[in-house]
Amino acid sequence: MNEVARKDEALPLSTRERALLDQLEADIAHNLKGFLKVGYALTTIRDQALYRVDFDTFEDYCREIWDLGRPRAYQLIDSYLVVDNLSTMVDKTAAPKVGDGDTHVIELLPVNERQTRPLAPLTPEMQIEIWTMVIDRATENKCRITAAMVQQCADELLQKQIKDVVDKGKRTIGGDDEPGAFEQLAQSFLALAQREAEGKKKKVAGVLRELLEVLEA
């Protein structure tokens, strides 16, 4: 649902909506460190415009009620959406075990917000592909999943995709028609560039150099 522009024009909350808002706000108040519950609650409040009676925008609601700036609120929402997407591809009954005597079960979904951050800017399909790599790597190495492992797998897949598309672009310049090759390259580059704030400036610069090499070939 789109955000309601003005609270004085908003429809009043129904009894069901008011009860839902109370429940979701209770989750936020008592589980602010539980990123999944908070992310779900914020997503639902935003999508159903449950803030509309008292606030003009979702951002105003987050700032005034929870002291959450827009970036932080959407970071929590994005983390929840990543886990919600990944939950469609895991079999929770078949979790592999790692550690001494194989006593520790590998978590098949992210267990903290940091593990979701490398995946948040990417498409749902790429999130699933990277998370599959993460689970396979943790199983093979008999170790727990960490945020650094997720970041490494994301970097590897993105770099491989960029290299593959650059190769296609070179073949296109050479005469082999590869429809959409440069569109794919642009999408991969955009996904990487979105993570510049996470300290990826050198990787973005590397992609730019590859693009220049293709154009100058």
pLDDT in tens, 61-72: 999 999 999 999
User: What integer pLDDT is reported at residue 215 of this predicted model?
Assistant: 53
Bigger pLDDT: 151 vs 89: 151
Nearest to 7 by CA among 56, 69, 48: 56
Domain ranges of the chain: 7-85, 92-216
User: What integer pLDDT is reported at residue 190 of this predicted model?
Assistant: 59
CA angle at 210 for the pair 208 and 213, rounded to the nearest 5°: 110
User: What integer pLDDT is reported at residue 103 of this predicted model?
Assistant: 40
Where does the pLDDT of residue 79 fall: very low under 50, low under 70, confident under 90, or very high at 90 and above? very high
**How far is the C-alpha of 63 from the C-alpha of 46, rounded, in Å?**
13
CA angle at 115 for the pair 112 and 118, rounded to the nearest 5°: 145
Least confident piece of the model among 9-18, 33-42, 105-114, 119-128: 105-114
Nearest to 1 by CA among 67, 52, 71: 52
Give exposure, 158-196, as e/b (b: 16+ Cβ within 10 Å). beebbeebbebbeebeeeeeeeebbebbeebbebbbebe
Portion of the chain with pLDDT greater than 90, in percent: 41
pLDDT digits (tens, 9 = 90+) for 83-116: 999 998 876 545 555 444 444 445 788 888 999 9
3-state helix, strand, coil in the chain (%, to 5): 65, 0, 30
Q: Is the pLDDT of residue 76 over 70?
A: yes
Q: Is the pLDDT of residue 4 over 50?
A: no
User: What amino acid is encoded at 61 in this protein?
Assistant: Y
**How far is the C-alpha of 41 from the C-alpha of 25, rounded, in Å?**
7
Average pLDDT, the chain: 78
